[in-house]
Amino acid sequence: MITPNLKLQVTRVLLLLIFGGFITCNEINAQQDAQYTQYMYNTMSVNPGYAGSRGHVSAALLHRSQWIGLDGAPKTQTFNIHSPIGYRGVGLGLSIVNDQIGPTSETYFDIDFSYTVYTSNEGRLSFGLKGSAHLLDIRYSELNQIAPDNDLQSDVDNQFSPNVGAGVYYHTQRFYAGISVPRILETKHFKEGPTPSTAKEQMNFYLITGYVWDLNDNLKFKPSILTKAVKGAPLQVDLSANFMLNEKFILGAAYRWDAAFSGLVGFSVSNKFLIGMAYDREITELGNALYNDGSFEVILRYDFISTQGNLKSPRFF
């Protein structure tokens, strides 16, 4: 019989395997950018060129709980708001991302700037820059250590580091594609003590693209791809396929290469308000772990449209 104590011990072992290297190696890679299944609704988090591309003020709020059932498993909250500014192709955005795993918490405050040029009647090419303020907390005091380690006694509180990012984003009414590096500076986080260690941020390269096909007057097909590459980790590819009925109901599936299958649902309450949800099921060994009930994600997006006339045609991404 599986007891609550056994569940707690399994959880501790998994979490130690995930971030234990942070405190035992002379130099290792820090936890990388947060992961999203509904990236197609949260593009500004990975590409600053998206800022202002919807043509009006747009705000989104996302929550992700990963590996539900494991104490201390990753949780991510994201808020962003962006808008075009004036009539000269400038877009501005603000993002706040909080990423937690076990005793570690990272918070990013991002300012995004984009400049858009018209490449054709429908084509828009945007160049984006991102400025970031990063705060890192590590609460070693929350660890239940069987054999106390002197290196794990002093918490890290609000360790600050700046960063910058860049991206290029192209879109028409039916197609979009972008390439970006949200964090360019490979910042090193130092930990003092008898055995000092260093955690180094790595650049994450993103390639995103998608298209909207009309299957008939009432049904649209929206495939999309997100590819992420980072030094020292396998290439990550997310393949998604969504179907939209009557421009209201969204149903789809996704596959994260060698990692997970996902189901996605969404509903456009109005032309202003979108609700989206996703559920991931791991296909790795972690997916078979005790008390891992998969990952859940929900996003709310609201477009501040004063009149229907502000939109020449609906935006699907």
In DSSP terms, 90 is beta-bridged to 85, 115
Rg (CA), the chain: 21
Residues 127-139: what's their mean pLDDT? 92
Task: Name the nearest CA neighbour of 37 among 59, 65, 14, 18.
Answer: 65
Q: Give the chain's largest Cα–Cα span.
A: 68
Lowest mean pLDDT among 6-15, 88-97, 113-122, 229-238: 6-15
Which token pair is 247? 């421009």
Highest mean pLDDT among 31-40, 66-75, 95-104: 95-104
Note the pLDDT of residue 42: 93
Rounded-to-integer distance, Cα 74 and Cα 70, Å? 9
On the question of pLDDT at 36 being above 90, the answer is yes
Note the pLDDT of residue 198: 52
Rounded-to-integer distance, Cα 193 and Cα 181, Å? 33
Phi, psi at 310, each rounded to 5°: -70, -20
State the average pLDDT for the chain. 83
Band the pLDDT of 65: cuts 50, 70, 90: very high
Note the pLDDT of residue 96: 97
DSSP, collapsed to helix, strand or coil, labels residue 18 as: helix
Output the pTM of the full model.
0.84
Which token pair is 224? 């999309």
Note the pLDDT of residue 33: 80
Band the pLDDT of 313: cuts 50, 70, 90: low
Note the pLDDT of residue 179: 97
Residues 249-272: what's their mean pLDDT? 95
Residues 288-303: what's their mean pLDDT? 87
Residues 266-288: what's their mean pLDDT? 90
Note the pLDDT of residue 144: 63
Lowest mean pLDDT among 18-32, 59-73, 102-116, 152-166: 18-32
Over the stretch 189-245, which tens digit does the pLDDT of each residue have?
A: 655 555 545 566 789 999 999 999 999 999 999 999 999 999 888 899 999 999 999
